[in-house]
Amino acid sequence: MIPQSNLEKEHASIPERLDRRIATHELLDSRWSPRSFSERPIEPRKIIGLFEAARWSPSSANEQPWSFIAATKEDTDTYAALLGTLTERNRSWAASAPMLILAVTKLTYSKNGQANRHAWYDLGQSVALLTVQASALGLSVHQMGGFDGQSARALFSIPQGYEPVVVLAVGYAGSVEQLPSDLRHREMAPRSRKPLEEIVFTQQWGKASPYVETKNPLLNNPPSKN
């Protein structure tokens, strides 16, 4: 298991990362997507911190195309509406999260009305920074594509030209014991990703970059410090 360091992960047991060659920052090491959440509410200052991190994300032409519809369980109607947009499978566990967030992106540039082909990318960056900030605050985020975007558009009067993209479940990670048995194993299974050779190229598409190949001598003989 990856050490928790000084990060505040309540009841969290973070699954192992397989085949990792180089350690990353502890905020990235501790980031994962649990399906079990504690009942502990999120402190108001931490909620603001999440959205500040998202707000200061970079974007094409500084367009900042992201918007968020957020609700804690205290906002009963909005929370229920967000939960209701999820697939049945996602609702079965997301209902334990103390906060749900719908992330929306604007598809055109405000300055000229032209299509913004970077809109989804920029929203993704914004959400990524939100998740890193969540790790710094001891919180966890699970992102869900399994939701009804048209239902969300109608429920929240999202105008044309804006696209509901993803729903986030946010909170303190809880015990896996609260999950249905079929999800419990998935929750604790080791995490894996494609090998670096399959995603990083240099000379041509599909040809693994020498910078990430396992035979790279720098991986075994790091440069000396002068």
Task: Identify the three-state secondary structure at position 162.
Answer: strand
> Which pLDDT score is estimated for 177?
73
Task: Report the C-alpha gap between 8 and 136 in whole angstroms.
Answer: 8
In order along its 226 residues, the chain shows pLDDT tens digits of: 333 444 444 445 677 766 777 888 888 887 888 889 999 999 999 999 999 999 999 999 999 999 999 999 999 999 999 999 999 999 999 999 999 999 999 999 999 999 999 999 999 999 999 999 999 999 999 999 999 999 999 999 999 999 999 999 999 988 777 777 677 767 767 778 899 999 999 999 999 999 998 766 666 665 555 5
pLDDT of residue 34: 85
Fold observed for domain 26-193: NADH Oxidase (3.40.109)
Question: What is the spatial distance between Cα 143 and Cα 25, in angstroms, rounded to a whole number?
Answer: 21
Quick one: how far is CA 47 from the chain centroid? 15
pLDDT value at residue 189 = 72
Token pair, residue 147, equals 């939701």
Q: Tell me the three state secondary structure of residue 196.
A: helix
**pLDDT number for residue 40:** 96
Convert 81-109 into a string of H (helix), E (strand) and C (coil). Answer: HHHHHECHHHHHHHCCCCEEEEEEEECEC
pLDDT in tens, 109-157: 999 999 999 999 999 999 999 999 999 999 999 999 999 999 999 999 9
Q: How buried is residue 201: exposed, middle or buried, by Cβ count under 10 Å (0-12/13-18/19+)?
A: middle
Domain ranges of the chain: 26-193, 194-226
pTM of the model: 0.86
pLDDT at 12: 55
Partners of 140 in the beta sheet? 171
Distance separating alpha carbons of residues 185 and 169, to the nearest angstrom: 20
Q: Write out pLDDT tens, residues 101-122.
A: 999 999 999 999 999 999 999 9
